Amino acid sequence: MNDLSIDLGKGLKLANPVLTASGTFGYGDEVSEVVDVNRFGGIVTKSLSLEPRIGNPPPRIVETPSGMINSIGLANIGLEAFLREKAPYLSQLSCKVIINIAARTEEEFCDVIKALDNEKWISAYEINVSCPNVKEGGIAFGTDPDVLRCLTRKLRDKTDRYLIVKLSPNVTNIAQMAEIVQECNADAVSMINTLYGAAIDIHTRKPKINTVIGGLSGPAIKPAALAHIIKAREVIDIPIIGIGGISNGEDVIEFMLAGASAVQLGTVNFYNPCAIYEILNFIEQYMTQYNLMSLQKIIGQALV
Amino acid sequence: MKCITIGTVQSNQKVADQIFFATIEVPEIARQCLPGQFVNIYFPGSVKLFPRPFSIAGVSGKSILILYKVIGSQTTLMSRWQTGRQVKLLGPLGNSFTISEDKSVEYVLLAGGVGAAPLMFFRDELAKKKIKPHFFIGAKTKSELPIIEDVKSDLIVTTDDGSKGLKGTVIEHFEDFIKNIRRPVSLNVCGPDSMMSALKNISFPDNVTINVSLEKTMACGLGLCQGCVVKTTSGKYNGHYALVCKDGPVFNLNDVEFDE
Ligand SMILES: Cc1cc2nc3c(=O)[nH]c(=O)nc-3n(C[C@H](O)[C@H](O)[C@H](O)COP(=O)(O)OP(=O)(O)OC[C@H]3O[C@@H](n4cnc5c(N)ncnc54)[C@H](O)[C@@H]3O)c2cc1C
Ligand SMILES: Cc1cc2nc3c(=O)[nH]c(=O)nc-3n(C[C@H](O)[C@H](O)[C@H](O)COP(=O)(O)O)c2cc1C
Ligand code: FES
């Protein structure tokens, strides 16, 4: 039996390295008829804010070559409805549950964490400092080094729970941002969130999504994600959770070799909702082929 | 219960200009689907990632029927499907048209072009209950009409250029018809956005309930991406955005807005 488990430190152990990416898997309950959610190492829920958000007007999504652009605008049900309607389902899952939080202000982040800290079933928080589609807050936290430092410190003070900061690729120096997160004693970084993207209808001359510029995801961004992970790996020791265009088992191994301790599946959930089964099968085969006792052994082992 | 599965193409025939009718054997979906529901068709390995949603146009034994118009890359691929071809599908998705408990209700189906697809399935369900609906179907011209005769409904065919049936838009002829109706009416509609907007401008008597099946670009079909939203009115959805894939595709006309 191959050992796919991954130890992310500070008591967070995953049965396998594959998580879902925030905003691409709802709260897990929507897909539970189609996929066995517990096959994932864990799920990361849609960005949660203190108050409900209705999100941006349509059109919100557009298909682009090997990718898509979205400007959902962090539409979510808000903390209160989340605890009432989603917690009962999430709390009975056997895989890990990581709550992604988005906020407009430091106070809002703190308020959400305060309300969630009593919920024993939550394994970690992932802080979304990098959403490109909301006008206020959002990406400002993830693009200004001082703002990021200040926020990460504050959140570290607030909670003992496993803390992941999700980085934006829309910065000049992602390694510097990763370093700041490590300095402030967060437990891991996840990367990357979506890249800036745009598309225009040549007949109507209108942008194909409402916010003009949105977030690009899918296989098109995979090489960019790998490059960012390699850069960050050079300067930090805390675990990196790799995200960006992963669609199969080969991609997962590639991300791990580049330095990711675990990975998240995003856009692939839309075009192959059962990808997790194929991915786990591939990893098993790969481990057998290369005689790997533990998957943990390949992290960062690319000859770069 | 929704499932992801592999179907087998039994037939795939051209029935009008750029319009095809496919039969796909997929017992898991055929067994349980309802009129108004749709399936996602996947195209693994394509640089166009999104699955494509298609209404179920009927059930025949273990197969579902799909009536589709070739408008772009993936529908072009579909038009080349041969018998025996394996297709990856997810379904049945979304909500459905409903048959009222009230026996006095008269059913009217209103289709623009391939919008006939879900209504043909609904017509079959009505026929099982011995109900014969009025079925309005319109297109620009004769060659774009997916059906021209029907035994299970009172079919009213219209073309903009008068090349088949009544001349004019389907909405114009429908408006004349609805004025003279006395009994409660269940109006069920599927067609292009322009047709839906035109409906909004008609003042209907109180005894007409209007259900419309909407189309939006979809990435997942499962309520995961929040991409397929439609603006709602203050009614049932409180003015929030509703998801066409999960809350719909069938909505009460009064609950949705089209001014985008
Ligand atoms: C619930 C639902 C039911 C549908 N049922 C039917 C049906 O029964 N028969 C039928 O012929 N068509 C149906 N459609 C529309 C059908 O999904 C599109 O025609 C198809 O996706 C086009 O794919 P393509 O690759 O050929 O076109 P593309 O090359 O992708 O695009 C051509 C045009 O189609 C539009 N389009 C692209 N993708 C979608 C999408 N996912 N949803 C809606 N529009 C899109 C684009 O805006 C563009 O204008 C339905 C759509 C929905 C949402
Ligand atoms: C439709 C959509 C919605 C998303 N919503 C969120 C979100 O709410 N919070 C967040 O941190 N990231 C969000 N993301 C970003 C993903 O979690 C992920 O970082 C990104 O899509 C790159 O991975 P992928 O290429 O595998 O999709 C969203 C992405 C998509 C496509
Ligand atoms: S298509 Fe993704 S939520 Fe409707």
Which fold would CATH assign to domain A6-55+73-195+218-298? TIM Barrel (3.20.20)
Task: For residue A184, indicate whether it is catalytic.
Answer: no
Q: What is the pLDDT of residue B239?
A: 76
- DSSP annotation of A85: I
Reported as a pLDDT band with limits 50, 70 and 90, residue B213 is: very high
* A-to-B residue pairs, Cβ atoms closer than 8 angstroms: 93
Chain B hits for A250, Cβ within 8 Å: none
By alpha-carbon position, which residue is closest to atom 6 of ligand 2?
A23
B130 phi-psi bin (left φ>0, alpha ψ -120 to 50, beta other): left
Kindly report the CA angle at B247 between A274 and B125, in degrees rounded to 5?
95
Summarize pLDDT for B7-30 with one digit per residue, the tens.
999 999 999 999 999 999 999 999
Domains and CATH numbers, chain B: 3-93 (2.40.30.10), 106-213 (3.40.50.80)
Q: Is the CB of B224 under 6 A from ligand 3?
A: yes
pLDDT bucket at B179, cuts 50 / 70 / 90: confident
pLDDT at A136: 52
How far, in Å, CA of B140 to CA of B126, rounded? 28
| Distance of alpha carbon B154 from alpha carbon B131, whole angstroms | 11
Q: Is B227 in the pocket of ligand 3 (CB under 6 A)?
A: yes
CA–chain centroid gap for A187, Å, is 14
Ligand closest to Cα of B214 equals 1
Q: Which residue(s) pair with B208 in the sheet?
A: B185
Which residues make beta-bridge pairs with B166? B158
- CB of B106 within 8 A of CB of B58? no
The tens digit of pLDDT for each residue in B24-64 reads: 999 999 999 999 999 999 999 999 999 999 999 999 999 99
Check residue A304 and give its pLDDT: 87
End-to-end CA distance of chain B: 33
Assess contact for A76 and A49: CB atoms under 8 A: yes
pLDDT below 70 — which residues of chain A?
131-139
Residue range B79-98, pLDDT digits in tens? 999 999 999 999 999 999 99
Give the residue carrying structure tokens 């370093």. Answer: A179
Which residue ranges make up each domain of chain A? 6-55+73-195+218-298
Q: Which residues of B touch A271 (CB under 8 A)?
A: 42, 49-51, 219
**Residue A131 pLDDT:** 57
CA A269 to chain centre: 13
pLDDT above 80 (res B234):
no
A134 pocket-lining for ligand 2 (C-beta < 6 Å): no
Give the pLDDT score at A225: 98
What was the pLDDT predicted at A287? Answer: 96
Confidence of residue B182 (pLDDT cuts 50, 70, 90): confident
C-alpha span between A85 and B147 (Å, rounded): 45
Among A95, A110, A131, A184, the one annotated catalytic: A131
Alpha helices in chain A, H assignment, sequence order: 78-81, 87-90, 106-116, 140-143, 145-158, 174-183, 222-235, 249-258, 268-271, 275-289
Cβ <8 Å between B50 and A54: no
User: Cis link prior to A192 (omega < 30° from 0)?
Assistant: yes
pLDDT digits (tens, 9 = 90+) for B122-159: 999 999 999 999 999 999 999 999 988 888 888 999 99
| pLDDT of B65 | 97
